[in-house]
Amino acid sequence: MIVLGLSTLTFPSSAKALFGRDAPMVVEIGVGSGRFMEYLARRRPDLNVLGIDRAPQSIARTFRRLQRREIRNARLLKGDADWFVRNVLPCEALHRVYVNFPDPWPRKKHLGRRLLQKSFLRSLSSRLTPEGDVLVTTDHDAYFDFVVRNAEAAGCFDVDLPRPPCEVLETKWARKAAVHRHAALRLKHPASPLKRDVELEEAMYHAVVTGNLPDLTAFEKRTFRHGRGVAVLMDVYRPLAGRGFIFLVHVEEDGLRQDVVVDVREGKQGFVVALRRFGEPLHTRGLSTAVRLITEWLADQGMTILHTKY
């Protein structure tokens, strides 16, 4: 069993590279407890099954379930499905996508958080094989209507309303729900692949500053807008050993959200400001901005900047 993270700078270009064999690849978005992935992978050993979820606990539960059953034709990806589809997944890589009982985000102010938006469905269409489809099952009527409207508006799918396939009825929520609403979005013609939103870089951003470290009472949580997103300096701490600071930073850019740690630690020439490898962050322009903002804050507090690379 393999668990991938979006910190993988180059996702395998084919199912064979990821699974070690040629076979149609299907994806479940939102793996929950892993019950569906286990059932599908065991029932269809001819498929390569990829599960995507951004919740660590769901990935962990599913990993343990698949490992106990010694299932070899499944892989897990911890990360955001929307960002993964648009920025990592190759075109025509998927035979089928399952979305089983997604969070309906029923409150009006939260509608933008729903996964199956028109833009996401258009992105997904270019990642499907010509015979590919998206199977959506829910017990929430408003969400079901939302999915059908967006699929029709996307212009890439024919919308069918068949009975759910047997594998979908094996999910945890299908067994609990009294009513199932099921839609099959059959690929009609794919949208043009979108330009990747975030360019990944291999450089490790850093700066070197000298002088006396400032008093932490001068720090306040602050939000900065940058290019295509925001960077939030959340908090700062002193390390248990040695001199320096540990900053907690939240960065958003084009649908990608990262919580990162930036160290200010003592070096040979002064204090080095750099990303800590905790969590294996993706190196993007947003993280470059985070390092720059912390460096500039230190300069505002009286320290001198000797060198920058961001």
Distance CA 122, CA 188 (A): 11
What's the CA gap between 278 and 106, in Å, rounded? 35
197 has catalytic annotation:
no
Catalytic residue among 22, 53, 80, 103: 103
SS3 sequence of the chain: CEEEECCCCCCCCCHHHHHCCCCCEEEEECCCCCHHHHHHHHHCCCCEEEEEECCHHHHHHHHHHHHHCCCCCEEEEECCHHHHHHHCCCCCCEEEEEEECCCCCCCHHHHHHCCCCHHHHHHHHCCEEEEEEEEEEECCHHHHHHHHHHHHHHCCEEEECCCCCCCHHHCHHHHHCCCCEEEEEEECCCCCCCCCCCCCCCCCCEEEEECCCCCHHHCCCEEEEECCEEEEEEEEECCCCCCEEEEEEEEEECCEEEEEEEEEEECCCCEEEEECCCCCCCCCHHHHHHHHHHHHHHHHCCCEEEEEEC
Cβ atoms within 10 Å, residue 162: 9
What is the CB neighbour count within 10 angstroms for residue 118? 15
Asked if residues 117 and 188 have their Cβ atoms less than 8 Å apart, the reply is: no
Active site residues: 103
